[in-house]
A and B are shown apart, each in its own frame.
Chain A
């Protein structure tokens, strides 16, 4: 399910302290998400591309992930230019594309890709449980950290359970069709999955109680900040501050 293709590596980015990467990823995403000016968005995309290069990830795999997201964005391009009110830019038959619509769609495209690339470069370059621990060390609420780690641990089990149920249907010659029998069977499948997951949650909680769990999650791993972490953090903070200034025209 979740393979963590990028989680191990020898690059500069892989060697950074996970907490630093998490902080930078959050700041960067927030700033990019609220930015509207191309003056800020284009450098942001360049910055995230630079991070990808630093992380030495396989270009093919990164492109594949981008493709998935940009598939969705394609729909925005099919809709936004024709539904946004504004100055007409081009016409295709009876449809009129507006300048504002095109600009808006390009903004979203830039934002999405910049944030996604930064997330791949910064967050996907550590094992998922390290990310959970980094969250915990940065004083994220315990509940969020637990939810995160448990989702990762049990999504696989639930997925297997789903497959078992699917196979149980298949071996009794179930063929999905467009009829009420199919809909009902799928509803049973989803319902059963929900009930089973909830039962499992109950059992896991009991197993944790048996091992002395009392609501606090302790972790084994300690992180340490090195000089290069400080160096990287200052550099990234400066870059993000630069994006903020470009966006709100404090410079240029």
Chain B
């Protein structure tokens, strides 16, 4: 591990999908160990684009990217960094492409040069930590939405990343599965950025929330935890709230 705790350092990044509108406009952004950051913003504001730029899947039109203290300009620079940063895609169907769960979870470790036996062990262990033991021979496309999300998370965690970038990890999940994912993520001691529209989830799992809007990123001071009146299911029944 480098002594420098700066993991992601973006300087003056601009990016546009079409000529007339900049999605990211001269954005600078840092992630250091052990930051846990939430990222909120309207649809189409460039949250996913930011993740893809960090991973080198999209190239900015201007600006500099440093990952783990080294400048990242070419595919080969990003290739090294991708082994240390885990990105969870918004749609689990994009992430799970192998026929069976075990093969999908083992795909990353195999690419990292592990032997088939080691990869199998890692995959089984990762599945076990996510309460997914017994899922290894399930067919990926036949899983339910929540199961798909958990298995996708397993495919990322199996690569033992130093940083996690999760793109709407709780989107479309029922309360139970959401709680499960929240607990798992709270228990991990990794630096991370979570994109979500679910503020409750971000309050529970991150230390600071950034907002992205009109091509700019800023620490959102208004988004600090505070008690408030709320509505939820079965509210008339006796229940307790965490303080």
Contacts and interface: CB of A to CB of B under 8 A. Distances in A.
B95 A207 contact: yes
Interface of A: 127-129, 132, 149-150, 152-154, 156-157, 200, 203-204, 206-214, 218-222
A214 B103 contact: no
Interface stretch (B38-46, B60-68, B85-93, B181-189): B85-93
Nearest to A152: B99
Chain B facing A: main interface SS: helix
B56 to A, nearest CB: 8
Contacts of B116: 218-222
B197 interface: no
B195 to A, nearest CB: 15
Interface in B144-185: 155-156, 159
B2 interface: no
Given A204-B95, A210-B55, 18 more contacts: A128-B99, A150-B97, A153-B140, A153-B141, A156-B141, A203-B89, A204-B97, A206-B55, A207-B95, A209-B55, A210-B82, A211-B107, A213-B107, A218-B107, A220-B102, A220-B106, A220-B116, A220-B119
Contacts of A219: 103, 116
Contacts of B108: 211-212
Contacts of B94: 200, 203-204, 206-207
A29 B59 CA distance: 49
A136 to B, nearest CB: 12
A157 B57 CA distance: 23
Interface string B105-131: 011101110001001100000000000
27 contacts: A149-B98, A153-B97, A153-B98, A153-B99, A153-B141, A156-B141, A200-B93, A203-B89, A206-B55, A206-B94, A207-B87, A207-B89, A207-B97, A208-B97, A209-B57, A210-B55, A211-B82, A211-B159, A212-B82, A212-B108, A212-B159, A218-B107, A218-B110, A220-B103, A220-B120, A221-B116, A222-B116
A153 B148 CA distance: 14
Nearest to B115: A218
B168 to A, nearest CB: 14
A210 B141 contact: no
Interface of B: 52, 55, 57, 79, 82-83, 85-87, 89, 91, 93-95, 97-100, 102-103, 106-108, 110-112, 116, 119-120, 140-141, 155-156, 159
A171 to B, nearest CB: 20
A147 to B, nearest CB: 13
B79 A214 contact: yes
A213 B111 contact: yes
A213 B78 CA distance: 12
Give me the 3 closest cross-chain CB pairs, A-B, nearest first.
A212-B111, A129-B99, A218-B110
Contacts of A222: 116
Most chain B C-beta atoms within 10 Å of own C-beta, residue among A150, A206, A212: A212
Contacts of A152: 99
A207 B107 CA distance: 11
Contacts of B93: 157, 200
Contacts of A132: 99
B111 A214 contact: yes
A243 B144 CA distance: 49
B112 A212 contact: yes
Contacts of A212: 79, 82-83, 108, 111-112, 159
